[in-house]
Amino acid sequence: MAFQTPDWVKHAVFYQIFPDRFARTQRHLDAPAMAVTLEPWDSPPTPFGYKGGDLWGVAERLSYLVDLGVTAIYLTPIFQSACNHRYHTHDYYQVDPLLGGNEAFLDLLEAAHAKNLKVVLDGVFNHASRGFFFFNDILENGPHSPWLNWFKVDAWPLSAYDGALPANYQGWVDNRALPSFNHDNPAVREYIMRIGEYWIRQGIDGWRLDVPYEVKTEGFWQEFRDRIKAINPEAYIVGEIWTDATEWLDGTQFDGVMNYLFTGPTIAFAAGDRVRMDLVETPHYFPYPALDAAGYADKMQHLLSLYPWEIQLTQLNLLSSHDVARLYSVVGEDEASVVLATLLLFTFPGAPSIYYGDEVGLPGELDPDSRRTFPAEADWHQGLRQIHQALIALRDRYPALRIGRYQTLHAEGSLYIASRTLGDEQVLVALNVGTMPTSLSTDSLLSGMTNPPSVFIYRGASWDGEKLHLPERAAIVVTV
């Protein structure tokens, strides 16, 4: 089946922002709804507290993102909600007042587009919240509510808050704070479709869909895609699917998924037995057990065989997110593990995504600790930031790293070599994840170049045209 995915995504570098934790605006605000008591910015994050990051604050940091090389922003939910992560939506047409409301978002959208940055929003369309008006009406009026059929009520009276009683309506993972929509109700379906259309018309560049596998209604996501693409054919639709996503990536639904099937093996290879098991056993993305080069190659080849190439180029590849512990903590704050994993991220097919703060070595254990505030510049790991910047620039410089064919050339022991090829342009990526230096004759892999240009070197790796020399935990990228 022939289909198209958004061309811009194939060339994009995403930056995921958790709005409450990225930046507070420096402007003077005359907004009563924002004149509230907040947790200290530098204190550890809590499940229920607010730090006060807002969308004007994001707009004020756009130059930082452009300097880093970012070309697209993915914002976790921004709509009115009674929780700091805003997955408990109250009103899909109103941006949360603590974030600055609709005015702040439209200002951010305009400023981002002026800097050629795309903006993708988080669509939480499987469930709403107890504060969502139509569900709140059920709480107030019981079986007399006109919106009763919007949700799935099993018994009366509703037990919306008393944990001593069973929840007698359906919620996401039985969470009574997140009542699930009845997507079989045509009114619910149409309501969600119109939300999707509304914000695309306001100028957003796509939707990241939260737990879309929970929506079982036949044809729902096919219709969503058709209606979104009818407004903007280049809008990006990316689903949160942690496992094999074949059934959603048939060209009729999503353009890609959050590619945790890339995340787990990449960390398991780059970090090996440095992975902190206490941080990775609960989220099911499996950056363990440790992989050697052959094991990693097998995982990547399997991943590349799952979906059409057009889809592979618009997968959202990541190493951290708000749902898992941060990479820096997962690998025991080992710099080399971060660099090697990040190199694999920026040289693999698909759109790389940086979780805010990862580029400056922000630690973070499991939620809520993975949602720390963005640190002051004095606390940045400047070396990691410079490497992120260099790898983004490398990807931008060589089209082969964005849309070129991917091939594993060598995978043995701790040494992994892959290439990206586009026409006459070939980029070679070599990593030694082991603790012993290694060398390899390249005669059988590549035909002779006496002085091949090295465009990225980590820890003194080199290639003299005949042999690759990689010290322990080292990497090199060369053009052939």
- Cα separation values, 464 from 293, 441, 445, Å: 23, 10, 14
CA separation for the pair 209, 259 (Å, rounded)? 13
DSSP state of 45: P
Starting from the edge strand earliest in sequence, which strands make up the sheet with 467-470, in order? 438-441, 467-470, 462-463
Residue labelled with tokens 């560049």:
205
Nearest to 262 by CA among 225, 300, 226: 300
Query: Residue 14 phi/psi, 5° resolution?
Result: -90, 155
Query: Residue 233 phi/psi, 5° resolution?
Result: -60, -20
DSSP state of 319: S
Q: Are 81 and 87 in contact (CB under 8 A)?
A: yes
CA separation for the pair 167, 157 (Å, rounded)? 10
Identify the burial level of 290 via C-beta atoms within 10 angstroms of its C-beta, where 0-12 means exposed, 13-18 middle and 19 or more buried: middle
CA separation for the pair 124, 86 (Å, rounded)? 9
Q: Which two tokens stand for residue 318?
A: 């990541």
Question: Which positions ≥6 away from 64 have C-beta within 8 Å?
Answer: none
- Tell whether omega for the bond before 157 is within 30 degrees of 0, i.e. cis: yes
- Tell whether omega for the bond before 368 is within 30 degrees of 0, i.e. cis: yes
CA separation for the pair 436, 408 (Å, rounded)? 22
Q: Are 255 and 9 in contact (CB under 8 A)?
A: yes
Cα angle, residue 318 at apex, residues 453 and 115 outer, rounded to 5°: 75
Q: Which two tokens stand for residue 93?
A: 């047409």
CA separation for the pair 393, 386 (Å, rounded)? 10
Identify the burial level of 452 via C-beta atoms within 10 angstroms of its C-beta, where 0-12 means exposed, 13-18 middle and 19 or more buried: middle
Residues belonging to the active site: 210, 240
Beta strands in 437-473 (DSSP E): 438-441, 454-458, 462-463, 467-470
Q: Measure CA of the first residue to CA of the last residue in the chain; give whole Å.
A: 34
